[in-house]
Amino acid sequence: MKRLVAIVGPTGIGKSRLALRLAGLFQGEIVSADSRQVYRHMDIGTAKPTREELARIPHHLIDITDPDEDFSLAQYQELAYLAIDDIFRRRRLPFLVGGSGLYVRAVLEGWRIPGVSPDRELRYNMEKRANEKSIDELYQELVGVDPDAAAKIDRRNVRRVIRALEVHSAAGKPFSSLATRKAPAFDSFVIGLTASRTYLYQLVDRRVDEMIGRGLVQEVQDLVHKGYDLSLPALSGIGYRQIVQHLNGELTLEAAAQKIKTETHRFIRHQYAWFKPDDRTIHWFDIERQGYGEIEKSLDEYLKINKLGGEKETS
């Protein structure tokens, strides 16, 4: 039986740190499920693994496209399955790790994603509306044509809102009605990390300060010098969007940092809502009260059980 381990949970809780530890213990490799880490030149604001970490444990689907290139959920899913199959062929254990719930569930649940090609003119016009007016206007439009998709998409995620509207426009049907599922050819053990909101917010606030200290502003400036437009969807995520506002003179650096923290707190609440329907299939661990030992023991037990015969493996 092919097996995959997924690690989910809110931003900043330590999913990557745990993945590195478990991959080292269980001969694994990490497949990123982060919608921002796919972009090159965006390292600090996406909390990518360090060079040392990348050298210690093989990682997949990091730095695979440029910030000004289209990158869809369908592309991610296809590449993720290729990476996972490659890891299986080498008899190692894949760890799917990230806070992008859409990416994780597309892989674990085998979504069949509508094959609608990008409409560049439509996207340009919608991005322009979002920049000149408000993403809320586009989001309300999505609520009107596809409330089911809107309920699953963060209203601040410009790219996802636009993609759902794009699919609806091209197919003439709601995005949500076109997505079917086919169970993937592997069994999954999903580890969920959680903690009290107070503790989480403290972790996030500390990480934002560290990102600013490590040079997040310079990273965004370097993107500009490389020729990337600050209005690109890739730069619309939390952290980059606020630094862009700072560079445009709309916010002081202190105000931008505080806004990043506040928006991340809101995003954490959204992440919990995203994974809540899957509570029965996620093994939750409270990192405030439980150490890594309990997680390691739980995973070890799962890997020893033969899913076909229910007996322990002798290896």
Classified by CATH at the fold level, domain 3-113+180-304 comes out as Rossmann fold (3.40.50)
pLDDT value for 177:
64
Q: Do domains 3-113+180-304 and 120-178 have the same CATH topology?
A: no
- The correct CATH number of 120-178 out of 3.20.20.70, 2.40.50.100, 3.30.420.310, 1.10.20.140 is 1.10.20.140
CA distance 159 to 123: 9
Residue 64's φ and ψ, nearest 5 degrees, are: -115, -5
Q: Are 236 and 159 in contact (CB under 8 A)?
A: yes
249 CB burial (10 A radius; 0-12, 13-18, 19+):
exposed
pLDDT value for 168:
81
Nearest to 271 by CA among 184, 195, 220, 158: 195
pLDDT value for 189:
96
pLDDT value for 308:
38
pLDDT value for 179:
63
pLDDT per residue, tens digit, the chain (315 aa), is: 799 999 999 999 999 999 999 999 999 999 999 999 999 999 999 999 999 999 999 999 999 999 999 888 889 999 999 999 999 999 999 999 998 888 998 999 998 877 666 777 787 788 888 877 778 888 898 999 888 888 878 777 787 888 888 888 877 777 766 667 788 889 999 999 999 999 999 999 999 999 999 999 999 999 999 999 988 888 888 999 999 999 999 999 999 999 999 999 998 888 887 776 556 689 999 998 888 999 999 999 999 874 434 443 333
pLDDT value for 101:
83
What are the structural domain ranges in the chain? 3-113+180-304, 120-178
pLDDT value for 187:
93
